[in-house]
Chains A and B, each alone.
Chain A
Amino acid sequence: MDRLVFLLGTGLARGTLFALFALALVLIWRATRIVNFAAGAMAIVGVYVGVAVTGLTGSYWWGLVATVLAGGLVGLVVERGVLRFASPRSPLSGVILAIGLVIVLQSLLGIAFGQQHEPVPAPFSDRPLRVGGVPLLSPYDVFVVVVALGLMAVLRLLFVRTTLGLQLRAAAFAPEVARLLGVRVARMRTVGWVLAAAAASLAAMLAVPKELGLNPHAADMLFVYAFTVAVVGGLDSPGGALLAGLTVGVVMSLVTGYLGATLAPVAVLALLVVVLLVRPSGLFAQAEARRA
């Protein structure tokens, strides 16, 4: 029982990271109908900046802030400089540009920083706290959950409660109608990319200390799991990203704990296949979407 509680706790913590990264994919998909295959590589650029700032200032917190800002800046440059030119008539155009970006960014990072794994220290202990003798989440896991859920809550408030959020949603759901109402759709797309890239960078920064370390490919698996989460939850559904993220995190944790780490990716793949067979649009997709 202790083991189960521990695995559920760590699974939920990991799941919030998947959810945050998946949310970044959902935001881009809703706004542009592009699956941003470059999300992992873009996020790692932000993490390199954050780690550099941490090294320069000696403060993890300044590094965290720099990660978010750099991630947002990468989103701005990528949208304005590359993906804005993807043809809206060809869904493949955006995908190919994104894959090209992955190659370019990872190559440039490799040239600049090398391919070795650099350890990134966590700001809090990674040893599980015990409550009544039962090992639960580590302080770092708690930090990850609070930051990831906190950011998701802030993004939800932004989208639901503010005029900017209303414009972002209108531009994503019905771009032409939004333009007829005075919404500057191109600008909203840029804002969407900035927000999504910043969120993905933050998720990667939180994930890296628990992985092998920082290298140009450090977010590759995070992207794969987050993509799975986004598809399982429904690419149109931010709420689905959260619920599916937690589900995938728990499934991975339980399978790792009881059956072995090598089976965890297989379990996630099996979950993906089942969802695609039963409900291809995702468990929480909005059936009425795009009928404006």
Chain B
Amino acid sequence: MSAALSVRDLVVGYGGAPVLHGVSFDVDDGTVVALVGGNGAGKTTLLRTVSGLLAPSAGTVHLDGRDLARVGVEDRVRRGLAQVPEGRGVITELTVEENLRLGGLWRRDPAGLRAALAEMYALFEPLERRRTTLGHQLSGGERQMLAIARALVARPRVLLLDEPSLGLAPLVVAQIMRTLRELCDRTGLTVLLAEQNVAGALSVADHGLVLGLGEVVASRPAAELAGDDALRHAYLGF
């Protein structure tokens, strides 16, 4: 299986204070990889660097074998890299439909865009009823669905999800995780899922990465990781 996303020796910091110390990993095509770790482990920093919002001081990011070093955030999106940021990232002043249309902004096939919107409404049914509702009037779960649906409208190769379960009820989280897994199985979408909800993330992931203080401390199949008591106690807090 080839790597859709490949990260090598990534070093990133804020104002000279390093947060990631030479992080390396691959995300294989069509798999879900859970990126887990406690607060301050560097999960969000890693995703922001992969999407291009942060510039690394060293290391590389490759998407489908192509180096993204000189590719800006907007062009990474066009190449198939989509990120759902932490805090959901719904533009609250825009309606559900407008948020979704933004997801397919750069697509040049109007028919394909319409089909993608219809598919998202079918996938996340609550959104269909709230097409003209402004983002700030949605519940937390609806906002998360909208943020994921919006990213999917672009038909990305790789989806980066940052803490999708944050602040949501367990039932809503379970529904979102289930939908995500089904989608990956059906479409071959590749997902890098950063989560503090370790059990939830590992339950839908193929592979797990444990990030501790800016380093990858474990990289194993998700089921194996979930069963490693020593590692869970040391880095994952459960």
- A, B from the same assembly: yes
Q: Given the complex, which residues of B lie within 8 Å of A174, measured CB to CB? A: 89, 91
Q: Is the CB of A173 within 8 A of B85?
A: no
Q: Given the complex, which residues of B lie within 8 Å of A179, measured CB to CB? A: 53, 73-74
Q: Is the CB of B94 within 8 A of A184?
A: no
Q: Given the complex, which residues of B lie within 8 Å of A182, measured CB to CB? A: 74, 77-78, 105-106, 154
Which of B74, B90, B102, B135 is the one whose CB lies under 8 Å from A184? B74
Q: Is the CB of B94 within 8 A of A170?
A: yes
Q: Is A163 an interface residue (CB 8 A)?
A: yes
Q: Given the complex, which residues of B lie within 8 Å of A291, measured CB to CB? A: 92, 136
Q: A170-B94, A291-B136, A292-B90 are in contact. Are A177 and B85 (CB under 8 A)?
A: yes
A292 to B84 alpha-carbon distance, docked (Å): 12
Q: Given the complex, which residues of B lie within 8 Å of A2, measured CB to CB? A: none
Q: Given the complex, which residues of B lie within 8 Å of A292, measured CB to CB? A: 89-93, 135
Q: Is A289 an interface residue (CB 8 A)?
A: yes
Q: Is the CB of B93 within 8 A of A180?
A: no
Number of A residues, CB within 8 Å of B: 21
How close is A229's CB to chain B, nearest CB, in angstroms?
Answer: 21
A289 to B154 alpha-carbon distance, docked (Å): 26
Q: Is B103 an interface residue (CB 8 A)?
A: yes
A178 to B93 alpha-carbon distance, docked (Å): 13
Q: Is the CB of B89 within 8 A of A180?
A: yes
Which one of B53, B102, B150 has the greatest number of beta carbons of chain A within 10 Å?
Answer: B102
Q: Is B98 an interface residue (CB 8 A)?
A: yes
Which of A163, A170, A184, A286 is the one whose CB lies under 8 Å from B91? A170
How close is A180's CB to chain B, nearest CB, in angstroms?
Answer: 5
Q: Is A169 an interface residue (CB 8 A)?
A: yes
Q: Given the complex, which residues of A lie within 8 Å of B196, measured CB to CB? A: none
Q: A169-B94, A182-B154 are in contact. Are A176 and B102 (CB under 8 A)?
A: no
A122 to B203 alpha-carbon distance, docked (Å): 74
Task: Identify which of residues 276-292 in chain A touch chain B, using a CB-to-CB cut-off of 8 Å.
Answer: 286, 288-289, 291-292
Q: Is B165 an interface residue (CB 8 A)?
A: no
How close is A154's CB to chain B, nearest CB, in angstroms?
Answer: 20
Q: Given the complex, which residues of A lie within 8 Å of B101, measured CB to CB? A: 163, 166
A169 to B92 alpha-carbon distance, docked (Å): 11
Q: Is A32 an interface residue (CB 8 A)?
A: no
Task: Identify which of residues 168-222 in chain A touch chain B, using a CB-to-CB cut-off of 8 Å.
Answer: 169-170, 173-174, 176-184
Q: Is B144 an interface residue (CB 8 A)?
A: no
A176 to B91 alpha-carbon distance, docked (Å): 10
> What does the 1/0 interface line of B130-153 toward A look like (CB < 8 Å)?
000011100000000000001000
A289 to B94 alpha-carbon distance, docked (Å): 10
Q: Is B31 an interface residue (CB 8 A)?
A: no
Q: Is A253 an interface residue (CB 8 A)?
A: no
Q: Is the CB of A166 within 8 A of B98?
A: yes
Q: Is A167 an interface residue (CB 8 A)?
A: yes
Q: Is B190 an interface residue (CB 8 A)?
A: no
Q: Is the CB of B94 within 8 A of A180?
A: no
Q: Is B45 an interface residue (CB 8 A)?
A: no
B interface with A by C-beta (< 8 Å): 51, 53, 73-74, 77-78, 82-83, 85, 89-94, 98, 101-103, 105-106, 134-136, 150, 154
A interface with B by C-beta (< 8 Å): 163, 166-167, 169-170, 173-174, 176-184, 286, 288-289, 291-292
Ordered by A's residue number, 20 sampled pairs between the chains whose C-beta atoms are within 8 Å are A166-B105, A167-B105, A170-B91, A176-B85, A177-B85, A177-B90, A178-B102, A179-B74, A180-B53, A180-B82, A180-B85, A181-B103, A181-B150, A184-B74, A288-B92, A288-B93, A291-B136, A292-B89, A292-B93, A292-B135
Counting from the closest, the 9 A-B pairs by CB-CB distance are: A182-B77, A288-B136, A177-B89, A179-B73, A173-B93, A182-B106, A174-B91, A181-B102, A182-B74
